[in-house]
Structure 1
Amino acid sequence: MTPMTDPHNALVSFQAAISSGSIHPHPCPRHEGLFLYVDGPCARPRTTFAMIDHQHTVKALVTGVCDRYVDAIPGFNLGYAVAEPFRRQGVATDILLKAIGEMQFLAAKAHQDQLYVLAVVGVDNLASQAVASRCICESPVLTTDGLSGLPAFLYQRLLSVTD
């Protein structure tokens, strides 16, 4: 059986790209130390928010892809990861809340009134469940991960850009 997607793999790849100088994320205007990088196909670009320190170390990242619409409102599937040395320090909650705030800001600039943020978290991933409960919603729905077929929780929240 295919495992669930692990956002930590994206963090490792993102760090390698930063270290090699092959990507150049832009600073987010609202949060110092948070950077934005957009890539992927035009139809479904991937938005990555990363906490990067002065030594170019990626401490954490949140990736988001608009992969669904719920009642004609765009839904961004989020994945998040924290580099090993920075775990258990509240970094995941911090970056996820900041990334959601930046997404609301960007949606407002694009004249979008609302958006959904979603996270699909494996039933065995207790740390990510705790973060999603704090940042997205407290009452997830039991589901099946579409890629792996494994049981997971779906955390979903409708946001107004004025929240």
Structure 2
Amino acid sequence: MPVIVDPHVGFLSFQEALRAGAIRPASCSSHPDLYVFHDTPQPGVQRLTYALISGSLAKAYAVYVMAEPLNGKTCFGVGYATDADYRGQGLATELVKVSMAELQKGLAPKLRSPGFYVEAIVGADNIASQKVAARTLSDTPKPTTDKESGHPALQYVKLLGC
């Protein structure tokens, strides 16, 4: 049976590309260590990756991709991961907060109607990611089943820009 997508796998690829100079994220004005990288990993799939970067090291990252609309509004799925050496320091929580603010700042002028959702689907056994989602998105998650793996999960949702 497949497993819930682990953002840490993508984080390792991002980290490798960053160190090799294969990607060049742009700095964000809202936070001195926040950078963003936009790419199209598959035709029709736009991805925004925000990372807290020091030199050529990404300490943590958050990846946003379009999800199915919620209540008629645009929705972004978010996944996040932290470098093993920096876990337990609150970096994922900080990153999700500042990246959502940066996303809102960039996206708000482009929306047809105000507001959009950010959603995290977190494995029922992933306590660390549940804590981040509870601190940044919602403290009342909805039990669900991960569509890809069929495993129990929790859905955390936050409406921004309204």
**In the TM superposition, what is the alpha-carbon distance from 1:111 to its structure 2 partner?**
4.2
Question: Where in structure 2 are the equivalents of 1:77-96 lying within 5 Å?
Answer: 77-96=77-96
1:32 alignment partner, SS class: coil
Give the aligned partner of residue 34 of structure 1. Answer: 34
**In the TM superposition, what is the alpha-carbon distance from 1:42 to its structure 2 partner?**
6.0
Question: Cα deviation per residue 1:78-122 (whole Å; 9 max; x = unaligned)?
Answer: 000000000001111000101111111011232452110000000
Name the aligned partner's letter for residue 117 of structure 1.
V
User: If the length of structure 2 is used for normalisation, what is the TM-score?
Assistant: 0.94
Question: Cα deviation per residue 1:16-49 (whole Å; 9 max; x = unaligned)?
Answer: 1011111111001211111000111463301100
**In the TM superposition, what is the alpha-carbon distance from 1:72 to its structure 2 partner?**
2.5
Give the aligned partner of residue 140 of structure 1. Answer: 141
- Contact 1:44–1:67 (CA under 8 A) maintained in structure 2: no
User: If the length of structure 1 is used for normalisation, what is the TM-score?
Assistant: 0.94
| Identity between Structure 1 and Structure 2 (%) | 36
- Contact 1:107–1:114 (CA under 8 A) maintained in structure 2: no
Question: Where in structure 2 are the equivalents of 1:3-42 lying within 5 Å?
Answer: 3-40=3-40, 41=42
Q: Structure 1 CA distance, aligned partners of 2:68 and 2:29?
A: 27
Question: Cα deviation per residue 1:112-142 (whole Å; 9 max; x = unaligned)?
Answer: 5211000000000011101100000000000
**In the TM superposition, what is the alpha-carbon distance from 1:157 to its structure 2 partner?**
1.2
2:45 alignment partner, SS class: coil
Two-structure CA RMSD over aligned residues (Å): 1.2
Aligned length: 160
Give the aligned partner of residue 119 of structure 2. Answer: 118
Measured at CA, do residues 132 and 59 of structure 1 come closer, stay the same or move farther in structure 2, by a change above 3 Å?
same
Give the aligned partner of residue 67 of structure 1. Answer: 67
Q: Structure 2 CA distance, aligned partners of 1:6 and 1:158?
A: 24
Name the aligned partner's letter for residue 123 of structure 2.
G
